[in-house]
Copies of this chain bind each other. A is one copy, B any other.
Amino acid sequence: MDLVEVEGWTLDQRRAVSPQLRAILRSRIIRNDLRPMSRLSEPEIAKEYGVSRQPVREAFITLMNEGLVEVRPQRGTYVCKIDYNAVLNARFVREAVEADIARKLASEGHDHLIRDLRAQLTLQRDVSKDSPERFMELDERFHMTLAQGAGVAKSWGFLEGIKSQMDRVRFITFEEFPIAKLIDQHERIVDFIEQKAVSGAEDAMRAHLREILNSLPRVQDLYPDYFENSHGLSGEKKSQHQEERP
C-alpha cells in the first residue's frame, strides 16, 4: 500500500501529500508532540514520511503563516515558542466575536439548536472524566455549533488559526483547566440563550472565555521555556537557541 505511518499519523501517498503533511504537523505542534524550539529539518521529515522535500517545505510555509513555526533562511526551521501576547490577543478576538454570537442567538429563537446543545452538554459531562483530550474536541464542537446556529459559520472558520494559539496552551497542561467548571459555564450560556436573555448570554460567554486568563500565568510559570516572554516586561530577553531533539 501507499500508506506511511509515523507517530500514529498516517499519510496517503496517493492523494496530495502537502496538505496532509500540513495537517499532521500542525496537529503535532498544537498537541505539544513537537515541542517549542525543536528543529524541523526538511530532509529529516521528508525521509520520515517517505516523500520529497518539496511537500514538506510547502507545509512549513503554511505553518509559518499561522505563526506555528519560524523558518530562518539558511539556518533552520523551528517550532515557535508560544507568544504570550499573541495568546492574549487571540483570546480578546475570540471573546469579542463569540460575545456577539451569544447576543445574536439569545435575541432570536432556536428551539432545535437548544436541544442539540443540551445533548452535547450531557455528552461533555460523560466523557470529560476519562479523557480531557476528548473534551477538547467536544468543546470545539460546542462553540462551532453556536457559530453555525447564529448563521456565521464562516466566522468560526476565520477564528481557527487564532484559536490554535490558545489550544497550544491547553494541551501543555490539561490539569490546569477546570473542565467541570467549563462545562457548567457552557450550560449557563445555553440557559441564557434559551431564556432569550441577551446581555446575560453575552456576559456568560465573556466570563467563559476569560477563564483561560486564570490558568495562563500558572502554565507559563510551570513551563517558562515554552513561552516567548513578551507580555509585561518590554525588555526582550533573548534566550539561547537550544536543541530539543537529541
Instruction: From the candidates B16, B58, B152, B162, name the one contacting A73 in the complex (CB within 8 A).
Output: B16
Judge whether A220 is part of the interface by a CB distance below 8 angstroms: no
Question: How many of chain A's residues touch chain B, expressed as a range?
Answer: 20 to 34
Contact B162 A89 (CB under 8 A): no
Judge whether A86 is part of the interface by a CB distance below 8 angstroms: yes
Residues of A137-183 contacting chain B, CB below 8 A: 152-155, 158-159, 161-162
What 0/1 readout, one digit per residue, does chain A (13-32) give for beta carbons within 8 Å of chain B?
00010100000000000000
Q: With contacts A58-B61, A61-B61, A99-B96 known, is A158 near B152, CB below 8 A?
A: no
Min CB–CB distance A231 → chain B (angstroms): 11
Residues of A45-69 contacting chain B, CB below 8 A: 54, 57-58, 61-62, 65
A96: chain B residues at CB < 8 Å are 96-97, 99-100
- A residues near B (Cβ < 8 Å) are 16, 18, 54, 57-58, 61-62, 65, 73, 83, 85-86, 88-90, 92-93, 95-97, 99-100, 152-155, 158-159, 161-162
